[in-house]
Structure 1
Amino acid sequence: MADGPLMESHTVLFVLIAVGLDGLAGLAGGVLSERWLHQRLPALVAFAAGTLLSAVFLEVLPQAVEVQGAATFTWAFASFVALALLEWALGHHPHHAEAAAGHAHGHHAHPGTPTLPVTLLASDALHNVGDGAAVAAAFLVSPQAGIATAFAVIVHELPQEVGDYALLRAAGWSRGGSLVALAGVQLTAAIGAAGVLLGTRMLPSLQGTVLAIAGGSFLYIGAVDLLPEMRRGPDARQRLVGFLCGLLLIGGLHFAEAFTGGHG
């Protein structure tokens, strides 16, 4: 864990950079070519699933266990269940790849799918608060854990926000209005990060709790929301390659860290 004023300032700087990059990823839907998105998004979604799942089991949960002990799994399980209930309560929306692909072809969301912008943006904001908190908690453990967690967050943020952008456009929002709304929602990640950075000063055990909650939510997103995308559509090889690349990237970072001496 970082200690001392110098290390604390470095930790805050790393967190700010990670949250800033996460925010930029959230605006990708309005910047990237829609044709490119349609062609590459399935592989990107699979890549995001691979990075999230490997980050959960190789970095986030092991680090949470070091800090929190066996209570980690209780918090992770509670987070997994709570996210499932929240998603059901807010209403199911199209998978991100389907939403973006439909927008790229000029189609609207599937019939009967709720596309209320307020509900969509509120759900996104809550999700971003958790992402920011997870990134901050991971950087408090070590730069390596923070980098792995931040990378997983940013990669899965891209297809999610592209899908959200597509849904806002399908609901009749202008390109500019959609980007402004998503940019505002991205700021909530900074709230989550700041809450953890300040909260751990008064309650050090908060760090392990946040990591455990992040582990459960990342597991849900990767396994329930993203992984099923690998079984949709004809481009199975592209999705499989993306998934394996995500696993290998975070796995490579993890084992390179272990080889060079572990967490400092």
Structure 2
Amino acid sequence: MTLFYIVLATFMGGVLSVVVAASLTYAMLGQLVKHLVSLSAGVLLGTALLHTLPEAFESQVDPRTLFAVLLGGLLFFFLLEKAELYRHDHHHEGDGHDHHHHFDAEQAGRGGFSVLVGDSIHNFCDGIIIAAAFIASPELGLTTSLAIILHEIPQEVGDTIVLINAGFTRRKALFYNALSGLAAVVGGVLGYFVLGTWQAIFPYLLVVAASSFIYVAVADLIPQMQRRMPWREMLQQVLWIGAGLGLIVLALSHLHEH
């Protein structure tokens, strides 16, 4: 049953977001992404700080070692994002360099495939994290899956918009995004068969997962919300973050009762 739950959770995380993107108009996509960014920040922080890290620190591993892994994970994701930013940097037709006509369109297409490759790797790692969480405990697997799925929806919707702007048709953008999402299933299945014999590394994997959640929330999602806005919008942000935290608290309380 554990393998079934892993496949189901990774499939939902990879494909559900594409279904959402396919069913909404551009205007609705923009509104959805705005609110889901706030919701995702609350879910990711709640999962990392209220469940994943406490689960890891309940092991017999020295807490100082786990804090070192947490620090290393945060630095790793910082460097990974740096590499991603440099990889997307390119020249333009109007930048003073001698480029042929349609150079920007060609670069946009390459950038689109670059996004897909990076997203596939990210989804594959998410699959491994979900597998490790389910192997550790069903409760941790469910909350970790919830955090990843809710984060993937705005991310994949945003990627769909990027791919369309890069020259893909809407149908192709959705198809390639769904294909990229299936990398999570591959990571989950592989993680189930490989990690099952390596129980000792679970605490470290959980801390790495927590560092990923914390970094995405603090370095990616929250900065998107840090701009001047009317009080009504700011209140909405706070409420959506609170809703994300509330989802995790409710999930944890319900799971602990069972």
Structure 2 length-normalised TM:
0.83
Q: Extract unaligned runs of 5+ from structure 1.
A: 1-9, 95-112
Residue range with higher mean Cα deviation, 27-36 or 243-252:
27-36
For 2:69 and 2:121, locate their aligned partners in 1 and report how far apart those are by CA, in whole Å: 18
> Is the Cα contact below 8 Å between 2:129 and 2:188 reproduced in 1?
yes
Q: Is 1:130 the equivalent of 2:125?
A: yes
Residue range with higher mean Cα deviation, 216-225 or 248-257:
248-257
For 1:179 and 1:144, locate their aligned partners in 2 and report how far apart those are by CA, in whole Å: 31
The equivalent position to 1:86 in structure 2, one of 67, 80, 85, is 80
The equivalent position to 2:71 in structure 1, one of 68, 74, 77, is 77
The equivalent position to 1:252 in structure 2, one of 234, 250, 253, is 250
Q: Extract unaligned runs of 5+ from structure 2.
A: 89-107
> Is the Cα contact below 8 Å between 1:48 and 1:222 reproduced in 2?
yes
The equivalent position to 1:239 in structure 2, one of 222, 237, 240, is 237
Q: How does 1:149-228 map to 2 (within 5 A)?
A: 149-228=144-223
TM-fit CA distance, 1:14: 1.1
Alpha-carbon RMSD across the aligned residues, in angstroms, is 2.4
For 2:87 and 2:228, locate their aligned partners in 1 and report how far apart those are by CA, in whole Å: 18
Q: CA 1:92 to 1:154, structure 2 compared with 1: closer, same or farther past 3 Å? A: farther
Count of residues in Structure 1 that have an aligned counterpart in Structure 2: 234
Identity of aligned residues (%): 30
For 2:86 and 2:248, locate their aligned partners in 1 and report how far apart those are by CA, in whole Å: 29
SS in 1 for 2:187: helix
Q: How does 1:47-66 map to 2 (within 5 A)?
A: 47-66=39-58
Q: CA 1:115 to 1:170, structure 2 compared with 1: closer, same or farther past 3 Å? A: farther
Q: For residue 79 of structure 2, what is the amino acid of its counterpart?
A: L
Aligned to 2:101: none
TM-fit CA distance, 1:153: 0.3
TM-fit CA distance, 1:229: 2.4
The equivalent position to 1:13 in structure 2, one of 4, 25, 29, is 4
Q: Radius of gyration: which is bigger?
A: 2
> Is the Cα contact below 8 Å between 2:3 and 2:189 reproduced in 1?
no
Q: How does 1:15-30 map to 2 (within 5 A)?
A: 15-27=6-18, 28-30=20-22
TM-fit CA distance, 1:91: 0.7
TM-fit CA distance, 1:139: 1.1
For 2:255 and 2:86, locate their aligned partners in 1 and report how far apart those are by CA, in whole Å: 39
TM-fit CA distance, 1:92: 7.0
Q: CA 1:59 to 1:49, structure 2 compared with 1: closer, same or farther past 3 Å? A: same
- Superposed CA deviations along residues 159-187 of structure 1, whole A, max 9, x for unmatched, are 10111111111111111111121111111
For 2:142 and 2:50, locate their aligned partners in 1 and report how far apart those are by CA, in whole Å: 13
> Is the Cα contact below 8 Å between 1:51 and 1:246 reproduced in 2?
yes
Aligned to 2:26: 34
TM-fit CA distance, 1:68: 6.2
> Is the Cα contact below 8 Å between 1:196 and 1:207 reproduced in 2?
no
